[in-house]
Chains A and B, each alone.
Chain A
Amino acid sequence: MRKTVIRFYTIADFEEEERWLRTMHGSGWKLVKMTPPCVYRFESCEPEDVIYRLDYKNEKQTPDYLQMLADFGWEYFAECLGWLYFRKPADQAQAQEDGELFSDRESKLEFVSSIVKTRLLPLEILFLCCVIPNFLHFGLGDGSAFGKGLAIFFGVMFVLYSFLIVYCGIKLRKIRKKYEQ
């Protein structure tokens, strides 16, 4: 049996997403495929406690990277917008670090930094250089139907971007604080 779930997670919600996928697998639904941006395809399976982890890679993942993750017991099974999905049965993780992708503070912080640098920052630049100028331009526009349509479009974009930037900015900062301790 298969089912499709649409669920939206921002770039700052990877921990929630990992927990959700683990709960799904525990109740007999394993993730088989991701379709960007937010379509999850599940297949029914035996309920099992399986740890899910997401890594973020801006560049193309190399065969030696996937081989190393496989050596460490991580099954790579999906990719979505730079996010790589891994899982491992919980009983294969003897030490707590076996159930994590990152075992020390430095590498955890670097992981968050790479999300900020390659995802949050471009969002902010796009907001400042594209969304705001267009919003102002069409918002004060000529009153034609086409202009009004664009004004509404950029108005929606303005609200969406503002929300995402504030939400992700605050949340990533919190995650970084947690990792620093």
Chain B
Amino acid sequence: MDEKIKRIYVPMTESGFYILFCLQSPQHGYGISRQVKEMTAGEVTISAGTMYGTLSKMEKDGLITFCREEEKRKLYQLTALGREILETEIRRIERLYKNSKGEEIHA
């Protein structure tokens, strides 16, 4: 994996994580925001500007790709690199979670 990209995205911001997580299937910005609100019971809200900026940056960095347009809304989806970053981040969060519960990680 590109080390520079990895340094930027691991660890990732909370908004970044949820956006990447939702883009495992094609989705547009507002759709992502609704999905995130729903899955976190309203605890995480991503604002419009943050959503647009994060999507643009992730597309530029090759984590996600534009797949199609629906009524002026751009739909994006994860790339192989994006999936790799997401999996790395999930493993890191799992480790944090296990350690926080007092469990130890065995290689």
Chain A residues at the B interface, C-beta cutoff of 8 Å: 55, 63-65, 67-69, 71-72, 74, 94-98, 100-104, 106-107, 110-111
Contacts and interface: CB of A to CB of B under 8 A. Distances in A.
Nearest to A55: B49
- Interface-central residue, A68, A106, A111, by most chain B CB under 10 Å: A68
Interface in B12-69: 13-15, 28-30, 33, 42, 45-54, 69
A83 to B, nearest CB: 13
A25 B42 CA distance: 29
A173 B46 CA distance: 25
A106 B54 CA distance: 10
Instruction: Across the A-B interface, give the 7 residue pairs with the lowest CB-CB distance, nearest first.
Output: A71-B30, A101-B49, A103-B47, A72-B48, A97-B45, A107-B50, A67-B72
A107 B33 CA distance: 16
B26 to A, nearest CB: 15
20 contacts: A67-B72, A68-B29, A68-B73, A71-B28, A71-B48, A71-B73, A72-B48, A95-B42, A97-B46, A98-B45, A101-B49, A102-B47, A102-B50, A103-B45, A104-B14, A104-B46, A104-B50, A106-B13, A107-B15, A107-B50
A46 B29 CA distance: 32
A101 B29 contact: no
A14 B52 CA distance: 20
A74 B74 CA distance: 18
A72 B32 CA distance: 11
B13 A104 contact: yes
Given A63-B72, A95-B42, A68 B13 contact: no
Contacts of A67: 71-73
